[in-house]
């Protein structure tokens, strides 16, 4: 609750107003049979909207949200992300000749461009041709833009909104495109290794004890120096981030991801140098002054990475930070009703189910089919277990919840490309 109060005060509105506004459910439905010359309610909402906050729980589907709900809010409670006015589902399949299950790159490309593509592609079509992205369109419309993630800032999901490359592994090229081409105003997350040439460590030393494989690997020169020359303030810890004022902001808070993704008890660490709620609050502080509005992409990567390792304890930690972040965004929407907030996941990871903790006859065994837990249910003496069926992604639908103008458009079931269809009504330049 403390984070939410601070965020609301920073944006110049009393907490009472934020809470009151947050309780209002706005439902707008297109009117059947409306005059062809009269704007629909959805068109009016799009015209009045200026800002978009798009939040990705990477790897998060219904079971991840349910496990977090039980652990954080209890049997009768709700996560903040589940309190948003509208809800629906998204399908996630890619257009890949070798796969039917998406990776993060193809899924984020569907969001960012409205086109499906092959796994590993960053906003290029199936033939490798670059596609227009929402981040670039928002910038062309005069809006401020930003990305916040606990992954590398050049990882697949944020990259799809601000870069185009045939291979998601070209993270130094993605960083170069950020500075030279798409120019997001705020870039906050991990991945310093990709911004510096091999043999040139920065704030985070090469070959750290927690992961000796990490180290600077860039091939595009010193992109941190290039960013500073382009007017970005560069920060590497929470204190520096707090002192940064206005203008363009680049914050890199780790060699790679902002955590160590391993199975439980095998060197797994979830303790970001700067947590996701803090980065998001700073991004909103920096972006919200733009008179034409802003687009902010926010991602919690830990859900996916720890689900790959079937690590329920760390998944729940990452989910807690994600929901705190959604609360900050929701408070912003409450005092800025021209803002659309969308919360979803790019795909499911782990084949997760939530089960009784007392079922000794369950069919699960060892390895990737093992039960994880038990975990406490908030406010109860009961427990649950998280049962994994794979260490990879699955084709399960992902929930989507939304608030603000056009949020009602997310009710029902849609392909993931539908995200672009809705967001572009706010972000794309208007002629």
What's the order of all strands across the beta sheet hosting 383-387? 353-356, 383-387, 371-376
391 is known as an active-site residue: no
As a whole number of angstroms, the distance between CA 48 and CA 407 comes to 13
Report whether 391 belongs to an annotated binding site. Answer: no
Contacts of 90 (CB under 8 A, 6+ apart): 344, 397, 398, 399, 400, 413, 414, 415, 416, 418, 419
319's CB contacts (< 8 A; 6+ apart) are 57, 60, 64, 65, 67, 68, 71, 72, 300, 303
What is the chain's alpha carbon radius of gyration, rounded to the nearest angstrom? Answer: 21
* C-alpha dihedral, 156 to 158 to 162 to 164, nearest 10°: 10
Catalytic residue among 35, 40, 93, 104: 104
User: Angle CA(79)–CA(338)–CA(423) in degrees, nearest 5?
Assistant: 75
420 is in an annotated binding site: no
The secondary structure element, H or E, covering residue 369 is: none
Residue 308 among known ligand-binding residues = yes
Asked whether residue 299 is marked as a ligand-binding residue, the answer is yes
Whole-angstrom distance, CA of residue 280 vs CA of residue 132? 25
Burial of 398 (0-12, 13-18, 19+ CB in 10 A): buried
127 assigned ligand-binding residue = no
Confirm whether residue 58 is marked as ligand binding.
Answer: yes
**Which residues make beta-bridge pairs with 316?**
none
Please provide the size of the chain in residues.
431
Q: Which of 303, 308, 331, 306 is nearest to 399 (CA)?
A: 303
Between CA 144 and CA 296 the distance in angstroms is 8
For residue 393, say whether it is annotated as part of any ligand binding site: yes
What sign does the dihedral 78-82-86-89 (CA atoms) show?
Answer: negative
Q: How far apart are CA 337 and CA 405, in angstroms?
A: 7
Annotated binding site for Zn(2+): 58, 304, 308, 346-347, 393
Query: Known catalytic residues?
Result: 104
Annotated binding site for Mg(2+): 58, 155, 157, 299
């Amino acid at each position: 609750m403390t984070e939410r109060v601070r965020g609301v005060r920073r944006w110049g509105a009393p907490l009472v107003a934020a809470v009151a506004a947050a309780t209002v459910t706005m439902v707008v439905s297109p009117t059947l049979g409306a005059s062809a010359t009269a704007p629909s309610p959805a068109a009016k909402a799009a015209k009045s909207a200026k800002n978009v906050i798009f939040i990705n729980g990477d790897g998060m589907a219904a079971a991840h949200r349910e496990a977090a709900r039980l652990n954080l809010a209890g049997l009768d409670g709700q996560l903040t992300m589940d309190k948003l006015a509208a809800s629906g589902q998204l399908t996630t399949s890619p257009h890949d000749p070798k796969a039917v299950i998406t990776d993060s790159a193809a899924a984020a490309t569907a969001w960012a461009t409205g086109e499906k593509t092959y796994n590993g592609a960053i906003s290029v079509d199936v033939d490798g041709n670059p596609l227009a992205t929402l981040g670039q369109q928002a910038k062309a419309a005069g809006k401020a833009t930003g990305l916040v993630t606990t992954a590398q800032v050049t990882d697949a999901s944020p990259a799809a909104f601000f870069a185009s490359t045939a291979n998601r592994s070209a993270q130094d090229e993605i960083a170069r495109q950020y500075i030279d081409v798409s120019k997001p105003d705020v870039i906050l997350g991990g991945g310093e290794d990709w911004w510096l040439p091999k043999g040139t460590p920065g704030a985070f030393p090469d070959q750290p004890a927690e992961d000796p494989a990490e180290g600077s690997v860039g091939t595009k020169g010193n992109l941190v120096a290039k960013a500073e020359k382009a007017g970005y303030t560069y920060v590497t810890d929470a204190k520096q981030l707090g002192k940064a004022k206005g203008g363009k902001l680049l914050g890199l808070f780790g060699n790679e991801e902002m955590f160590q993704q391993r199975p439980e008890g095998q060197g797994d660490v979830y303790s970001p140098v700067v947590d996701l709620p803090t980065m998001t609050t700073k991004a909103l502080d920096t972006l919200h002054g733009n008179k034409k509005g802003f687009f902010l992409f926010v991602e919690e990567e830990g859900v996916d990475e720890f689900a790959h390792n079937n690590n329920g304890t760390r998944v729940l930690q990452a989910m807690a930070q994600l929901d705190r972040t959604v609360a900050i965004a929701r408070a912003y929407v409450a005092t800025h009703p021209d803002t659309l907030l969308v919360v979803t996941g790019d795909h499911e990871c782990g084949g997760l189910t939530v089960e009784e903790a007392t079922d000794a006859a369950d069919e699960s065994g060892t390895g990737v089919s093992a039960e994880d837990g038990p975990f406490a249910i908030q406010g109860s003496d009961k427990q649950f277990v998280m049962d994994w069926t794979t260490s990879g992604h699955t084709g399960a639908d992902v929930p989507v919840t939304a608030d603000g103008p056009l949020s009602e458009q997310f009710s029902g079931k849609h392909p993931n490309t539908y995200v672009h269809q809705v967001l572009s009504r706010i972000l794309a330049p208007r002629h």
